[in-house]
Amino acid sequence: MPKLLLATSNPGKIREYRFLLDGLGCQITTLTEEGIVKIVTESGNSYEQNARLKAITYAKLSQLTALADDSGLEVDALNGEPGVKSARFAGEAATDAEKVSFLLAKLNGVPWERRTARFKCVIAIASPRGRAELCYGECHGMIAFEAKGENGFGYDPLFFLPEIGKTMAELPLEMKNQISHRARASQKARQVLQQLHI
């Protein structure tokens, strides 16, 4: 059975991708399982650049097809921030709780109708030969006034979905994995991976 390398060390992402890519007919492996310790610095100015950089680097290192993503939260009242800096917005080593608190502080006093936001995800799939294919996904919502929910990770407890009436972190994983930005990008990634016959 061919292997697909998930080029991330984020346990939340690994759990979601194992679910989203289930049934593809390949063995999903991780950097840890492959003994890869190199950390690729996300030095790009866009999700595309970061995803491509990680996928190509880890595909060459492992000699496996690699899937990497870069994703972020864009808040309209903050002119699209944190965007590509989402993971480091509250500082390099900030916990998820600290990221949530930092974002809430930034939006202090911003009324509900101006708290519109979107999650974006770009997946890059690269072969060891170095070519990368990109897949995109987006999910629109609002930034809640307080964190709610125990599921998910990152900014999920603040990302409110008006059509459902819950935050992303209040949804069961099965439901999140039907509507999230990562789910939408993954649907396209499945098609790419099937064409590659990995």
Reply yes or no on whether 70 is catalytic.
yes
Tens digits of residue pLDDT in 91-105: 988 999 999 999 999
CATH of the domain at 87: 3.90.950.10
Hey, how many other C-beta atoms are within 10 angstroms of the C-beta on 6?
A: 24
Tokens 């939006």 map to which residue?
Answer: 107
In the chain, how many domains are there? 1
The whole-angstrom separation of Cα 78 and Cα 162 is 20
Decide if 21 contacts 189 (C-beta within 8 A).
Answer: yes
Tens digits of residue pLDDT in 123-143: 999 999 978 999 999 999 999
Tens digits of residue pLDDT in 60-88: 999 999 999 999 999 999 999 999 999 89
Decide if 75 contacts 81 (C-beta within 8 A).
Answer: yes
Domain that holds residue 54: 3-196
Burial grade of 77 (CB within 10 A; 0-12, 13-18, 19 or more): middle
The catalytic residue among 70, 76, 96, 156 is: 70
Which residue, among 82, 56, 83, has the nearest Cα to 67 in the 3D structure?
A: 56
pLDDT value at 198 more than 60:
no
pLDDT of residue 1: 82
The whole-angstrom separation of Cα 126 and Cα 58 is 9
pLDDT of residue 197: 63
Q: How far is CA 53 from CA 3, 75, 76, 140, in A?
A: 20, 25, 27, 26
